[in-house]
Chain A
């Protein structure tokens, strides 16, 4: 019970690990490019949680600043990625990444 009531670093890390796992699963298995993007966002959020948790329990500002930049990065990434997805859709009339394998041969 001790471990459940005393909210410590491991709690956050567990949440982050689960988020990361889900994100990774989305990236690996989903055919829809948009869902893959969502998975990526999950992974980034998991990273953010990790950074902030370590920052909190370490007392420094590094994690906070880092998570700030990650958000910025995520925004940029989402914009570019969606533009690319839309271009892909124009070109292949589909966002099914498994169908887009013209580089195979």
Chain B
């Protein structure tokens, strides 16, 4: 099941490979069908998922069965390295509460992204092959339970992303692509070292061999006492934690490693922005929750305050930077930074409310930011500019677009009744309840006001009032005596067309529904988060020592 959902896009990619590049429509449809099949599979997995099983660590006895679900485990690479022992890498997939929501999100956003890629005309075949490769890599990252496999998927993501930004991007695309590539590569190189260190420090309790299994690594009793990253090697464990954290933080992206994001977003085509903000950023925080924290719980406990402060900086700094932006897409990119700060803050709370809020925020940020970027893309397609000051009064001329924008903008600023609110609320609940992060939470609450400020301000400048004299569009008086908007070289529908509605309406429905009743998604994660909190709690740590 999981293998299928992971490799479906690649299969679609192979099919596309056989289609001549002139058959653009077939290429698109094949990709879309694969993405939809992925969605169906995600729904099946969701239906078959037992929310009571905790995940995170192995069940009693050291086997992942009974804790993880939809497990697929095969030996993949077995090498005899002579004096170094043997290298055992497994093809090990499974889901628990942390990953299932992300699997659903990835399937959803991939499908939306394909719809959004419809107008792309440049090298369609290559684009969709890379897109499908990216889709596989993302999905693989979320379901991989073997560190090596995770790393393979993690690196696999870089390549298509690099080309997708570097070939299909905006005018400054090479710079952005290189920046993205170097940043992430910088993070993952260290991850490789830590991964190897962990391999030699952990013993699979069932087989007695060294293992890359994240499930085995998540239990502190599986560590060899005097190994390089064993419990006695305090310094190296700190170093490993920090290095891993930076690797993941770059992906989040966390201040001060965030500067690749605005560039990448501004240059990337709309669907890639959607994927980037909707799924890729989540991999950073997912990696922290899956790998960084449970593998080094005592270091995590020691660094709560720092993580919280970094989260708060992200929230407020991102909001301020967004306030100053003139480019709408850049503003949305900075809002992403701000919103990912909530995730970090929730993680720093290290309690169930905060972590559930953080994970739920990851899901909601995925859907909401996807909407934001799609909406930016809609206006960019028509007006060929994203300068906020080049618009004005759009609400009068494009009412449907304005309505969807209003939903998305308000969801982003955390209006109750829309999903973003609940996650932010519980992040704050958690952060405030934890003694360490209490004052950080108090400061971070200001982010809510500034978030509202930049979103409402941009909403006003673009949609309310009347057309500005130097606006990027003209007004024409139609036959009915009303004024109609007119874009210079846009032949399509002025307001949202059917394809755009098909992308946006499901997201809007999800945002509203999960804002009113969050349990369908939140219910999946609670038992895993409770388990994670237990694994991370200092009580367990002291009991172990």
Are A and B in contact, CB atoms below 8 Å, in the complex? Answer: no
Q: What residues of chain A have their CB less than 8 Å away from a CB belonging to chain B?
A: none
